[in-house]
Amino acid sequence: MASNTTGSTPPNNLAPKQPSPPKVNKLVANDITASLREGFSDFLARPLMSGFFGLFYAIFGILFVWCLVWLGKIWMLIPAVIAFPLVSPFACAGLYEMSRRLQKKESFGWSDILTVMANQRRREMGWMAFVVLFVLWVWFYQFRTVLVIVLQDSSFSDLDGFFDTVLFTPEGWTFLAIGTCVGAFLSAVLFAVTVVAMPMLLDRDIDFVSAMLTSVRAVAENPAVMLTWAAIIAVTMLVSLVPAFLGLIFTLPILGHTTWHLYQRAVTPAQA
C-alpha cells in the first residue's frame, strides 16, 4: 500500500523560532555624562516623587543599622554598609518606571508608579531578588567566616571596641584586606548581572536569565564605561551614607534615573 506521507516535515511540526537575544551596543564615556544629565532632568521633573524613593531607602538604612546595634550584632555593620548599595536596584524600580514614562511623555501619578512596582512581584523581578539575596548571603557568610578565623583571639563588645580592633591591629588589617578582596569580587559579580537586567525586566517581557546574560554581555563589551559607572555608584552611595544616610534622598533618585538612560543606550530597543 502506498503511503500518503511525503518526505518533508509538515510546517506545523517545525520547532518554533527562538527569539534573538537583545543586541548590546558599544558605549563611550560620553554616554555616562549624557545619561547623568538626563537622569538629573528626570529628578527635577518630579523631585518630590523621586525624593520619596530616596527617603524610603534612607529610612530603611537607618532602621537597619539601629537594629544591628540594638541586637548586639556589631560585627555585621561593616558588611551591611558595604552590601547596602548592592540592593539599591530594587529601590530604583519605581524610578525606572518614572523615567520610562517621562521618556515617552506619558502622564502618571503616585498610584501608577506604585502599582507598577507592586506588579513586579508577579514577574521575573522576584527571581532577580532571589539571586541578589543569595549573593548577599554568601557575602555575610564569608565575612563571618573570615572574622572568626582572623580575629579569633580578639574580643569586642561595643562599636568602639570593634573598630579599634579592625582599624588598629595587624589582625584587623589582614581581616580588612581579605574581606575587601572577597567583597569586591562579589560586588563586581552582582553589578554585572543587575546593572542592565533590572531596568530590562521592568521594560520588557523577558526572563530573568536572559536579562542577566544581556547585562553580563553589556559589561563585557563595555568594560571601561561600566567600570567607571560602577565606581561612580559606589563612591556616591558610600558618601551619601555619611550624613546619617540622608544624602540618599538626592543621590539615589539621580543614580536610578541615570541607570535607566544608560540601559537605553546600552541595549537596542525591542522591536515592536
Q: Map 127-160 to HEC letters.
A: HHHHHHHHHHHHHHHHHHHHHHHHCCCCCCCCHH
Domain boundaries, the chain: 26-266
Cα–Cα dist 107/109, whole Å? 7
* 272 vs 266 pLDDT, higher one: 266
pLDDT at position 156: 62
Digit-coded pLDDT (tens) for 139-193: 888 888 888 888 776 666 666 777 787 888 888 888 888 888 888 888 889 899 9
pLDDT at position 7: 47
Contact 93, 120 (CB under 8 A): yes
Supply the pTM of this predicted model. 0.83
Digit-coded pLDDT (tens) for 110-129: 988 888 767 766 667 778 87
Q: Within 13 Å and on the Cβ side, how many CA atoms surround 226?
A: 24
Mean pLDDT of 86-105: 86
* Ramachandran assignment for 143, one of left (phi > 0), alpha (psi -120 to 50 degrees), beta (any other): alpha
Digit-coded pLDDT (tens) for 21-53: 889 999 999 999 999 999 999 999 999 999 999
Mean pLDDT of 205-225: 93
